[in-house]
Amino acid sequence: MMACRETTKRNGREEGKDSLLRYSSGTIYAKTLAGNRTLVKDVSFSLHKGEKLSLIGETGSGKTMIALSLMGKLAPNVKAEGLQCVLDGEDCSDPKVASSLLGREVAYIPQNGMEFLNPARTVKSHLYDSLQRAGTRKSEVKKRAASALSSVGFHDIDKILKSYPFQLSGGMAQRVTVALALCTKAKLIIADEPTNGLDKEAASRMLEHLGLLFPEAGQLFITHDIEVASNADRILVLCGGRTMEHGRSFFLQNPRNTYAKCLVSSLVSNGMKATPTLRKRTGCPFSDRCPEYSERCRDELLHHREGEHEWWCNR
């Protein structure tokens, strides 16, 4: 069994009582015909009002599972043991409680607006439903819907309200999902690959826009794009459902964990170096591909900390 030696008592950032969000995953696992498969284990973080945190890692690293657990939307065959989640003082560890907050205090921005929106319903129907769910007075719904669309850059409001999703471009549909988030009283924004399909300039505008539209809300970005992640205040690097490195975003200039180093090296600006592959999986979740693998990685995963910056690595 892998021994995880730590220099602190928590596998995650020190979480203050003044945090908007305090999250600890416990163990999230999937029930399969071959037995239980662990997807996320012992990932902890906190988020303050107006703060941005990026969860970054390759496909299958656990990013989406964490987001789904926050919203109470894990698949029926996926279970969470020891999950702890507190949003603005309210315990929402129970999936029923977490789900009830979605669309009110928690807003979700998907990676594909076109697929997220119901093709059989107009933009007006989507917005009005969201506003009513958030408790908006009937007399204010029309004005709030128009204001939300205007805030995300639409000008011909009446035309957009009457439109169906298939009549919109991909970028327009994505902006509608941001307008839907504006219809809520969101304290927490969960954005899943919010810049997916956008060029670099458009992606930069989108991220800047989110910051201006939701200045008081905590923002959680789910992404595999390091350049997108670097726009956040803090970054948490995931591999195999475990935390590899966590700290202020500038640590990407000099990451300590080998997996984080490989992610940075894979950037176009760094030569798109390939991530090493094919070594039998052992203790550390990255050990099967790590170029700095040593025998101790079969049994140990050391935790290091320097102030707010922490990483898990045997190097």
- Supply the CATH number for residue 195's domain: 3.40.50.300
* Of 45 and 103, the one with more pLDDT: 45
CA 55, distance to chain mean position in Å, is 5
233: CB partners within 8 A, 6+ apart:
51, 52, 53, 248, 249
- The three-class DSSP label of residue 108 is strand
pLDDT tens per residue, range 106-161: 999 988 888 899 999 999 999 999 999 888 999 999 999 999 999 888 999 999 99
- DSSP code for 285: T
Contact 215, 50 (CB under 8 A): yes
User: Does residue 90 lie within any of the structural domains?
Assistant: yes
User: Does residue 111 lie within any of the structural domains?
Assistant: no
User: Does residue 123 lie within any of the structural domains?
Assistant: no
pTM for the model stands at 0.78
Q: Is the per-residue pLDDT at 239 higher than 70?
A: yes
Average pLDDT over residues 231-248: 93
- Round to whole Å and give the CA distance between 149 and 182: 9
Contact 287, 279 (CB under 8 A): yes
pLDDT tens per residue, range 275-313: 443 333 446 888 777 888 887 787 778 888 888 899 888
- DSSP code for 9: S
- Round to whole Å and give the CA distance between 94 and 1: 30
Confidence bin at 233 (pLDDT 50/70/90): very high
Confidence bin at 217 (pLDDT 50/70/90): very high
Please give the full DSSP string across 202-260, using - where no structure is assigned.
Answer: HHHHHHHHHHHH-SSSEEEEEES-HHHHTTSSEEEEEETTEEEEEEEGGGGGS--SHHH
- DSSP code for 66: H
What range defines the domain where residue 279 resides? 21-105+186-312
Long-range contacts at 3-7 (CB < 8 A, ≥ 24 apart): 3/299, 3/300, 3/301, 4/300, 4/301, 4/302, 4/303, 4/312, 5/300, 5/301, 5/302, 5/303, 6/302, 6/303, 7/303, 7/304, 7/305
Q: Report which of 77, 76, 86, 72 is spatially closest to residue 23, judged by C-alpha positions.
A: 86
User: Does residue 289 lie within any of the structural domains?
Assistant: yes
| Count of structural domains, the chain | 1
pLDDT tens per residue, range 181-212: 999 889 999 999 887 766 777 777 778 878 88
